[in-house]
Amino acid sequence: MSNSKILANGVDVYYGSKQALFGISMDIKEKEVTALIGPSGCGKSTFLRCINRMNDLIEICKVSGSIKVDNEEIISEKTDVVSLRSKIGMVFQKPNPFPKSIFDNVAYGPTIHGLVDSKNELEEIVHSSLKKAGLFDEVKDRLNEPGTSLSGGQQQRLCIARAIAVNPEIILMDEPCSALDPIATAIIEELIDELRLNYTIVIVTHSMQQAARVSQKTSFFHLGELIETGDTKKIFTNPDNSKTQDYITGRFG
Amino acid sequence: MNNSVAKEKIVSLRKKRSLEDMRFKYYGFTAMCLSLAVLVFLLYTIFSKGYTAFQKTIVLLEVDYNQEVLKLTPDSSDEEMEKGKFFRVKKQAIENFFPDLSKSDIKLIKKLFSINVDNEIKDYFLENPEVINTKQQIWVTAHSDVDQLLKGNSRRDVPEDRRKLNDIQLSYVDQLVEENRVKQVFNNFFFTKADSRHPEIAGVAGSFMGSLFTLFTVFILSFPIAIGASVYLEEFAPKNRITELIEVNISNLAAVPSIVFGLLGLGVLLNVFGLPRSTPLVGGSVLALMTLPTIIIACRASLKAVPPSIKEGALAVGATKTQAVFHHVVPLALPGTLTGTIIGLAQALGETAPLIMIGMIAFIPNIPTGLTEPSAALPVQIYLWVESAERGFQEKSAAAIMVILIFLFMMNAIAVFLRNRFERKW
């Protein structure tokens, strides 16, 4: 049994007066892929964005409860959000490379965190991150071209490379394949399977097949509540809750 | 309703709808043609009135650089040469302009020449000191009255007492034309000299430099403040009543009549802080206040247009808010910001009222060399020239309008260039 990496306890989220999450408690294990599934607007992205405090950007969003990462409370005024985010990388729904070169995209994180002392070191990090993201062979001859010139799937892998360049422990993925075609999706899914060996991954997805393919644990959200969480195999074959059963068999959502 | 009736109805309505399409296309085309026609008419009027200002009339004058008259010797030093009695040489040259002139005629002929002729005779000598004790044929500037007559801007068929040149002077001018001792050349004075009471030697160089210094002040003051204010309001400020109030009032400020800013400059900058009157420093400060809201609005719009996903991406790799904003958002918003700034500067360039309030309407015959020297500005110069009664200034004002239009056109071209150069796709 692996250790728990993220421990959420009674997380409530309000957007203004509207409550979006109701007392979410969940335990995310180290070096596993946890998939968050559920119909649109069920709060799975909101929960994901609590983990690296991206919800801070939304003025009216209020988070209460407790989330512990490596036994450290992160829902607190005292949390150093910047170092939290360097520990928890994030990949977004739509690929969002910076309008800079491929190299600079990956180099940005290590540079601002002062992880490198020399140009060679930086190059090494950029190359190894691109390799880990399975993109290096495709772009090694054109590292100076803009990141936005890549195809959608390549851009998303560039964003993954950018996230792992700062050497995080956790990677959050918010529907990383929803803007991609099936082939690019397959490549990313394969990549997620490899990354699992070194990183704890939390992925939000609309595709139940994807959740079944890439994750070890699955959590089902519905109307802001966590209905059921457990081994992916169990959730997809023999869920405890009838709502989960209805959702995965396509009766609603 | 049966099926065929419904079909007929659809067809007739379809015809009506396509007619409507046609009509609107036609309306739009007419509106565009009208506005183009107005623009062409405006440009034509300005150009047809002003193009003659780019030419000046010069007269051939025989000058005898006699050393006795000049009170110089061939060995005189440069300083002594500066003090040569060139007005005496000029007087002599005019007395011998035509053979056997009477005293009253000499007086009349003197008025055919520009007041600047003394300087031209002197400059010619300083450039060629070896001409001492020789006679030289020099082209010198004619008086504006002669200039206007030959350009056809003033009429000769009005009664003598309502003309600038009397009959005797006219006959002399005609004689000059016949003998080819007068011609029209490119008017370099218009671009190298400041304002003058004498139209033939008045130019836009002074007011052009004044405008340039003023715009420089506007840019230095308003650009950093506008960037700071808009970045703060857009990215850092909490969204509450106070910031909302500030936002509304920035929009209000953009609509405040410019003369109010002029009053502010007069009351505060001149009277309270005692800054020097009529200077680009004060003019620029007032115009900067006026331009600030415009730039802030443009800057905020372009900051808003940067996709939030870029900022999120930066924050997600652990950038601080400041880093995310200044590494990613501001550079992406820069083309729009620069365009807005240049549009604001163009607006400031054309502004007259506030400059009048702070005294930049004074008559300044020198080209300013600094921010704290009294100077004019292009729009005020136009205003001054349009107001003057002398014929010679009429074409000057139209020509100055051309200069300001070209200046504006160039600023807009720079704005377009910068936008295309720095615009990045995402």
Q: pLDDT tens across B137-147, in order?
A: 999 999 999 99
Separation of alpha carbons A55 and A74, rounded Å:
12
CB-based contact, A134 to chain B, within 8 Å: no
Structure tokens of B245? 């109030």
CB-based contact, A110 to chain B, within 8 Å: no
The answer to whether A86 contacts B239, with C-beta atoms less than 8 Å apart, is no
Identify the CA nearest to B226 among candidates B279, B314, B302: B302
Q: pLDDT tens across A210-241, in order?
A: 999 999 999 999 999 999 999 999 999 989 99
pLDDT at B424: 63
Collect the ranges in chain B with pLDDT lower than 70: 1, 424-426
Nearest chain A CA: its distance from B315 CA (Å): 8
Within 8 A of A159 by CB-CB distance, chain B residues are 313
The answer to whether B318 contacts A109, with C-beta atoms less than 8 Å apart, is yes
- What is the pTM (predicted TM-score) of this model? 0.83
The answer to whether A92 contacts B425, with C-beta atoms less than 8 Å apart, is no
CB-based contact, A58 to chain B, within 8 Å: no
Within 8 A of B315 by CB-CB distance, chain A residues are 54, 57, 85
Nearest chain B CA: its distance from A230 CA (Å): 28
Would you kindly state where each structural domain of chain A is located, as residue ranges?
4-248
Consecutive 10-residue averages of pLDDT for chain A (253 residues): 82 92 92 92 91 88 92 89 91 91 93 88 92 90 90 92 92 90 89 91 91 93 91 91 88 68
pLDDT at B131: 87
pLDDT at B426: 47
The answer to whether A112 contacts B424, with C-beta atoms less than 8 Å apart, is no
Separation of alpha carbons A63 and A51, rounded Å:
11
Within 8 A of A98 by CB-CB distance, chain B residues are 310, 313-314, 328
The answer to whether B318 contacts A83, with C-beta atoms less than 8 Å apart, is yes
pLDDT at B425: 55
Structure tokens of A220? 């089902």
Nearest chain A CA: its distance from B306 CA (Å): 11
The answer to whether A52 contacts B316, with C-beta atoms less than 8 Å apart, is yes
The answer to whether A96 contacts B320, with C-beta atoms less than 8 Å apart, is no
Identify the CA nearest to A122 among candidates A105, A138, A135, A137: A105
Quick one: closest CA in B to A150, which residue? B426
Separation of alpha carbons B413 and B416, rounded Å:
5
Domain A4-248 grouped into CATH 3.40.190.10: no
Separation of alpha carbons A122 and A120, rounded Å:
5
pLDDT at A214: 93
Disruptive mutation site among B235, B310, B317 for chain A (greatest number of A CBs within 10 Å)? B317
pLDDT at B146: 92
Q: Which residues contact B386 (CB under 8 A, 6 or more apart)?
A: B393, B394, B397
The answer to whether A85 contacts B318, with C-beta atoms less than 8 Å apart, is yes
CB-based contact, A113 to chain B, within 8 Å: yes
Within 8 A of B322 by CB-CB distance, chain A residues are none
pLDDT at A1: 46
Within 8 A of B323 by CB-CB distance, chain A residues are 112
Disruptive mutation site among A45, A108, A156 for chain B (greatest number of B CBs within 10 Å)? A108
pLDDT at A162: 94
The answer to whether B316 contacts A92, with C-beta atoms less than 8 Å apart, is yes
Within 8 A of A166 by CB-CB distance, chain B residues are 317-318
pLDDT at B24: 95
pLDDT at B231: 94
pLDDT at A253: 56
Disruptive mutation site among A54, A83, A112 for chain B (greatest number of B CBs within 10 Å)? A112
Nearest chain A CA: its distance from B303 CA (Å): 15
pLDDT at B129: 86
The class (CATH top level) of B205-422 is mainly alpha
Within 8 A of B310 by CB-CB distance, chain A residues are 96, 98-99
pLDDT at B164: 85
